[in-house]
Amino acid sequence: MKASTFVYPWDVNGDPAAAGRIAGLGVQQVTLASAYHSTRALTPRHPRHRIVTAEHAAVLYPTDDRWEGRALRPYPAGDWAPGDAYGEAAAALAAAGLEVHTWVVLAHNSRLGAEHPDTSVVNAYGDRYPWAPCIAQPATRAYLVDLAVEAAVRPGARGTELESLGWYGLQHLHAHDKTGGVGLGDAGMYLMALCFCPACRTGYGEQGLDADELAASVRDALEPLWRGAPDDGGWAGVEKLLGEAKASATRAWRDETARTLQETAVRAVRAAAPDAFQILLHADPVTYHVGANPGVDPAHILSVANGVVVPCAGGTDLLTPFAEQSRDGSVIAANFPVISGMGGTPATLTADAAQAARQGATELRLYHAGLASDGDLEAVRSALAGL
């Protein structure tokens, strides 16, 4: 089973041993960040640093002239990834015999929301989510599509993985995040993800809903949860809290908005890419889910993209809906965390990969070669040797 590991350019650049060490894990591919959100990351083996602080979402290469005169445009990286950091790392990894694919984070950008607050998701209380661009807004959609093209189709890349190509909501590891005090479950998180920016208010109207009335209904539905009532979870929980008709109308608007953005972005990337360029989306098979792995309809997305990268930190069950809709050549990549300190279980990777294969996975994704300890990497090396 083909395996790829996620990597940041700063894991490789300045460390002459990094590319060979990654190739020595037994992976055939690396998924290398070309556009990434803000983060603070360990580099436990780098000869020049141990901590990298990426202060804001940025592209990790020089942009071209497509952004001239546009208000919404990607931000260049600072000293954590200067110049063509992506290109430098990609060249080293390719020289080590690895196939390089781009890793592109899209609708997740706190700096964009801070500098252009009108682009952000607005919840039913009027709170803005600066980390979450609203994907219904025409200017934001145009920005995301062009960013997907530019960041995906880098020189020498054989494919791309598009993360956060869909709705984002409350789920976000913000700086010193303190949002876990109330147990909002699946239903509560959906209600907190509903956007009430002008574009979405118009969209609800097209579904026969009055946006002000809907916002009031969302606030009323959430009130018991704020007081500690249990969240029944799942879509049935949303329908119970909001009412079946309103819930269905909101989902119709949001599903269509995400679906058309995904279609447009994939089509644009494919038009700009060389032949046989692979386009995968990080995805969840439940369409109303939001975040880095936004919800998609499995049959639809596998008719649009070459495949999906599916989160498997909580088990492999999310693979099955995609496997059931798989086409000839579809890639269904099971994404396993392999960092013990971040909840990963590299020691069980052999068994996990076997279970993923039984549920339809065709490839593995391993998060993350740059962040993992030496012990975790040795466990990965041993597991891949046995597959």
- Going along the chain, which residue ranges are E strands? 2-7, 29-36, 39-42, 51-54, 58-59, 99-105, 120-122, 128-133, 159-163, 278-282, 307-311, 331-337, 363-367
Helix, strand, or coil here: 112? helix
Contact of 210 with 266, CB cutoff 8 Å: no
Q: Which residues contact 335 (CB under 8 A, 6 or more apart)?
A: 282, 309, 310, 311, 312, 313, 364, 365, 366, 367
User: Would you place residue 110 in the very low, low, confident or very high pLDDT band (cuts 50, 70, 90)?
Assistant: very high
Q: Which of 86-95, 178-187, 198-207, 279-288 has the lowest mean pLDDT?
A: 178-187
Percent of all residues in the chain with a pLDDT value above 90, rounded to a whole number: 93
For residue 375, report the phi and psi dihedrals to the nearest 5 degrees.
-65, -40
pLDDT > 70 fraction of the chain, expressed in percent and rounded: 98
What is the structure's pLDDT at 70? 97
Residue with the larger pLDDT of the pair 116 and 185: 116
CB neighbour list of residue 82: distance below 8 Å, 6 or more residues apart: none
For the chain, first and last CA: distance in Å?
7
Confidence of residue 88 (pLDDT cuts 50, 70, 90): very high
209: its two tokens: 């809903």
Mean pLDDT of 149-166: 98
Q: For the segment 236-284, what is each residue's pLDDT rounded down to a tens digit?
A: 999 999 999 999 999 999 999 999 999 999 999 999 999 999 999 999 9
The pLDDT value recorded for residue 171 is 80
Cα 383 to Cα 385: distance, rounded to the nearest angstrom: 5
pLDDT category of residue 62 using cuts at 50, 70 and 90: very high
Query: pLDDT category, 1, cuts 50, 70, 90?
Result: very high
What pLDDT, on the 0 to 100 scale, is given for residue 176? Answer: 62
Q: Which residue in 86, 93, 96, 95 sits closest to 152, CA to CA?
A: 86
Q: What does pTM read for this prediction?
A: 0.97
CATH number attached to the domain at 2-116+131-177+255-385: 3.20.20.80
Handedness of CA 358, 22, 155, 60 (dihedral sign): positive
| Helix residue spans in 62-210 (DSSP H) | 85-95, 110-115, 138-152, 186-193, 198-206
Give the pair of three-digit tokens for residue 154: 């880098």
Average pLDDT, the chain: 96
**pLDDT of 299 strictly over 90:** yes
pLDDT at position 198 over 80 = yes
Residue 2 has a pLDDT of 96
81 CB-side CA count, 13 A: 35
The domains of the chain are located at: 2-116+131-177+255-385
What pLDDT does residue 280 have? 98
- The first and second tokens of residue 175, run together, are 């700086």
- Kindly indicate the confidence band of residue 337, based on its pLDDT and cuts at 50, 70 and 90: very high
